[in-house]
Amino acid sequence: MKVDLNIISHAVLDDKIFFTKGEKKEVKNQLGGPVSFASTIFPVLSIKGRCITTVGIDFPKEYLEYFLQIKNCCFEYDFSEKTTRFLHKIYENSRSLYLMEQASKLDEFVTKFPGAKGCLISPVYHEVTSKTVEWAYEEHDYIGLDVQGFMRGLDTNNKVVLLYNPQILSELTNDASFVKYSLKEAQHYTQKKSYLEILEGLPSNNTQIVTLGGEGLLFSNNEQYYKLSAPSRIEIDPTGAGDVLVSGILSKLVETDDLEISIAFGMALAAEKIQMNRIQPLASNDYMKMAETILESLEKLE
């Protein structure tokens, strides 16, 4: 199937342990990962997407069946011995993430597919290398890149920790249309704290997006720096909101070539996601109208 947007990442199985209010609650085999959350936006889009991933033979069949019935999205997967699996330990004011299993790398599988107008590269833990990044740059007009999987390392207990590797990261992201960081990742990369210093410290050759959770996001455009506020929503589960955000931004960018409206459109989709506690297609709404309202909060940082 000819598509407009390729999404590259691992699908993930998450085990979660909640330590809240003196209680312990466990959840096993919860579906996650960037391709899983990205797939939720295509039923409300006019463009078509392809999610490219690797899963293990332990991946639940019901999840595969879910992916295969998603409107406007082609789900392409290769089998590996294991599925990428994380353990989340979630406390009232903090959380820790542990890598328990990892599926095989995506490089050889990815490059079997044709390019498209846009491509999102969003690794969760080193499943793509410079080979996939080079293929993406050669075969696509617009590239969105989420740095999370490139900035992750492990301590001796397999706990995920942030790596400080600005030179490697700069090389991988050099030709991307936009690069997305969480606030913690951007602070770690730049060793800065204030919003303006962070944006000034990130590479200036492309658009940098720094997410601020419920506060909104920061972004750069032609060496100018801006903040957009997130719409007020009742937050049920923020997991995957960043994946929905970057997928939404890129989906609108390949249609319009308009950076600001594309960022606001991605924010509108992410605002819908946080109101859901499980992976499912987003509800049909006027997301462009929501994006226009979000743009009214545009603030220049100086």
Residue-wise pLDDT tens digits, 179-230: 999 999 999 999 999 999 999 999 888 999 999 988 999 999 988 999 999 9
Among the residue ranges 67-81, 124-138, 163-177, the one predicted with the least confidence is 163-177
pLDDT interval class at 103 (50, 70, 90): very high
Instruction: Quote the mean pLDDT of the chain.
Output: 93
Coil, helix or strand at residue 160? strand
Do the bridges between strand 49-56 and strand 5-8 make them parallel or antiparallel, or are there none, so unpaired?
parallel
State residue 113's pLDDT score. Answer: 95
Distance CA 31, CA 86 (A): 11
Distance CA 76, CA 210 (A): 29
State residue 104's pLDDT score. Answer: 96
The DSSP code sequence of 15-30 is EEEEEETTEEEEEEEE
pLDDT interval class at 233 (50, 70, 90): confident
Residue 232 has pLDDT above 90, yes or no: no
Q: What is the CATH number of domain 5-301?
A: 3.40.1190.20
Distance CA 178, CA 76 (A): 25
**159 pairs with which residues across the strands?**
98
CA within 13 Å, CB half, 199: 22
The mean per-residue pLDDT over the stretch 51-59 comes to: 96
Q: How far is CA 290 from CA 59, 84, 174, 186, 236, in A?
A: 36, 35, 31, 27, 19
The mean per-residue pLDDT over the stretch 165-178 comes to: 87
Sheet holding 224-229, edge to edge: 73-80, 49-56, 5-8, 116-121, 140-146, 178-182, 207-211, 216-221, 224-229, 299-301
The mean per-residue pLDDT over the stretch 125-147 comes to: 95
pTM for the model: 0.94
Q: What is the pLDDT of residues 7-19, one digit of tens each?
A: 999 999 999 998 8
The mean per-residue pLDDT over the stretch 254-264 comes to: 96
* Residue pair 116/6 in contact by the 8 Å Cβ criterion: yes
State residue 39's pLDDT score. Answer: 94
Do the bridges between strand 152-154 and strand 160-162 make them parallel or antiparallel, or are there none, so unpaired?
antiparallel
Domain boundaries, the chain: 5-301
* Residue pair 88/14 in contact by the 8 Å Cβ criterion: yes
Q: What is the pLDDT of residues 18-48, one digit of tens each?
A: 887 777 888 899 999 999 999 999 999 999 9
